Structure 1
Amino acid sequence: MVLVVSKDVREALEARRPVVALESTIIAHGLPAPRNLRVARGLEDDVRARGAVPATIAVLDGRPHVGLDGPQLERVANDPTVRKLGHRDLPLAMASGASGATTVSATALLAARSGIRVFATGGLGGVHRQWTATQDESADPALLARTRITVVCAGVKSILDVPATLQRLETLGVAVAGYRTSRFPGFYLTDSGHPVDWRLDSPGAVANVMRAQDSLGGPDSALIVARPVAEAEQLDPGLHARVLDAALKECDRRGITGQAVTPFLLDQLVRHTDGASLDANVAAVTGNVRLAARIAAAWTGV
């Protein structure tokens, strides 16, 4: 795979300085303009402020880029033709010269291929509700089961079947730990209502697990570090439950299925919470990015 690695990222990796991979889907498809570009720049600044190098990842004109400059970041934020790319889409985008923002699975793959070990995002994909009828599952769990990367996230998207996703991750052998919590976070929500078996309380503790993964020599699976959004910044749980319930019923009424389900439900949450879900999303991602930078520093010994 031919990766275009930015000079800053390449030099940091060669010198074993901390690097944090960032996805670009939140920029192109997750937030409205002009907030998306402000948030993207802010996340990169948060990484730099903690002594690490940000590596925002996207595909531009068929070339996977690991680390974007200012004009490239603006293009991802403002170009309406930028597609949404999972890891399965990468060869198609490369061969056709397409441009796209990378999802969790595509970002994790490209980051790992370039030698980056720490990746920060908002919420992971997973098993969808009514899976027994739809067989609808995100590509994230399976990709993370075969990719050695540490993912700092706020759990899985709260519109998903959380217990089924946790079971799927266990079946696939993906390690999951709560960061300073024994409860699995719910993306917009501090607590999804489900426990986690392991808890890590410092960046150094996370880095030690990463080293243990390497010394064990087992399958190249990910480590998920699930950091909850602060209670003061979470979406009101009662409002979340009411809006999601109504959105799921509307989804059934309209016959929306497959890949269209997630964007529809997330859009309904934005519309019917007066944007509060976006605020919770940004708060979660920001906290995750800051923690990821500290983990990357602990991992590299900086």
Structure 2
Amino acid sequence: MVLVVSEEVREAIDARRPVVALESTIIAHGLPRPRNLLVARELEDAVRQEGAVPATIAVLDGRPHVGLDKEQLERVANEDGIRKLGHRDLPLSVASGASGATTVSATALLASLAGLRVFATGGLGGVHREWTVTQDESADLGLLARTRITVVCAGVKSILDVPATLQRLETLGVAVAGYGTDRFPGFYLSDSGLPVDWTLHTPEQVASVMRAQDALGGPASALVVANPVPREEQLDPALHARVLADALRACEEQGVTGQAVTPFLLDHLVRHTDGASLSANLAAVRGNVRLAARIAAAWTRA
């Protein structure tokens, strides 16, 4: 089998101990060096502090790895030429022997193939603004519609069309619940301004929903647990609105399109909020990782 599962992760799965999947795009493409490696280690440590095993996922020399050792983590953080891989890119990277960091869709797929059930990330991709013109929608949504995994996230990136993304998740049959809130979080913001239909308050409640998914035996879709960034750590909403509006205008004026839109907007936010958007992003990821570890623990106690 082409999938490489680390010994630590395999032993945890076999012993039914909690494991949390972590994406690697934030390491290779989301943060500057050397901070990216420090954050990668911090997130793995946070999972361990909650009693779970971290399984950072990446493709190295054409081999998908679920769980990285110290040297492999350093390679993802420091090696030039690490690609950004969605799930559609996995066969191409395997066949060509390429190395790449996994996005939400690729991480969710590889985690599921390895037998993992819980995945922590920052924010999901979704429907882009001006969708009626561009038809631009993240591959995350379609993959989550056919992959049985629980994704702990801070909602979807606020640069997207959040109402359309929620509608698309509903259409695709992906369950969405707020964690301790009846409002859908907005990645950098605790509240996107939109409600959620369901609220879960404890890891045990999340695990109960996961068990109910299996008992019902319906389509193998995901469960999205939308965990808001703490209000005291969110990006100032007024600053967010102003800078995002400026970023969208700059994007249009410079003719940025397709896959270049998201990194352009995110970079604009970081630079024009003096790094405050990045701080909010990391606060969200830290909270999601810890919650995911608690959910994984509740799941394995079932």
Corresponding residue number in structure 1 for 2:40? 40
Corresponding residue number in structure 2 for 1:111? 111
Corresponding residue number in structure 2 for 1:253? 253
Aligned pairs (5 A) from 1:113-262: 113-262=113-262
Aligned pairs (5 A) from 1:246-285: 246-285=246-285
Spell out, residue by residue over 1:177-211, the C-alpha distance to the aligned partner (whole angstroms, 9 max, x if none). Answer: 00000000000000000000000000000000000
Corresponding residue number in structure 2 for 1:30? 30
SS in 2 for 1:21: strand
Separation in 1, partners of 2:118, 2:91: 23
Separation in 1, partners of 2:80, 2:241: 32
AA of the residue aligned to 1:119: F
1:94 equivalent to 2:79? Answer: no
Report deviation, 1:34.
1.0
Separation in 1, partners of 2:220, 2:29: 30
**RMSD between aligned residues:** 0.7
AA of the residue aligned to 2:182: S
SS in 1 for 2:157: coil
Separation in 2, partners of 1:15, 1:231: 38
1:298 equivalent to 2:285? Answer: no
AA of the residue aligned to 1:127: V
SS in 1 for 2:214: helix
Spell out, residue by residue over 1:39-70, the C-alpha distance to the aligned partner (whole angstroms, 9 max, x if none). Answer: 10000001011110000000000000000000
Separation in 1, partners of 2:100, 2:275: 25
Separation in 1, partners of 2:17, 2:96: 34
Corresponding residue number in structure 1 for 2:9? 9
SS in 2 for 1:123: coil
AA of the residue aligned to 1:294: R
Separation in 2, partners of 1:238, 1:32: 26
Separation in 2, partners of 1:80, 1:176: 37
Separation in 2, partners of 1:232, 1:33: 27
Separation in 1, partners of 2:241, 2:93: 37
Give the % identical residues: 81
AA of the residue aligned to 2:144: L
Spell out, residue by residue over 1:92-118, the C-alpha distance to the aligned partner (whole angstroms, 9 max, x if none). Answer: 000000000000000000000000000
Spell out, residue by residue over 1:233-275, the C-alpha distance to the aligned partner (whole angstroms, 9 max, x if none). Answer: 0011111111110010011111111100000000000110011
Separation in 2, partners of 1:31, 1:187: 16
Separation in 2, partners of 1:40, 1:81: 18
Corresponding residue number in structure 1 for 2:68? 68
SS in 1 for 2:244: helix
Separation in 1, partners of 2:46, 2:149: 20
Report deviation, 1:80.
1.7
SS in 2 for 1:20: strand
Q: Gaps spanning 5+ residues in structure 2: where?
A: none
Spell out, residue by residue over 1:263-297, the C-alpha distance to the aligned partner (whole angstroms, 9 max, x if none). Answer: 00000001100111111111000000000000000
Q: Number of aligned residue pairs: give it.
A: 302
SS in 2 for 1:30: coil
Report deviation, 1:2.
1.5
Q: TM-score, normalized by length of structure 1?
A: 0.99
Separation in 1, partners of 2:221, 2:69: 30
AA of the residue aligned to 1:301: R
Corresponding residue number in structure 1 for 2:52? 52
Separation in 1, partners of 2:113, 2:240: 37
AA of the residue aligned to 2:247: A
SS in 2 for 1:190: strand
SS in 1 for 2:29: helix
AA of the residue aligned to 2:174: V
AA of the residue aligned to 1:259: Q
AA of the residue aligned to 2:213: Q
Separation in 2, partners of 1:45, 1:68: 13
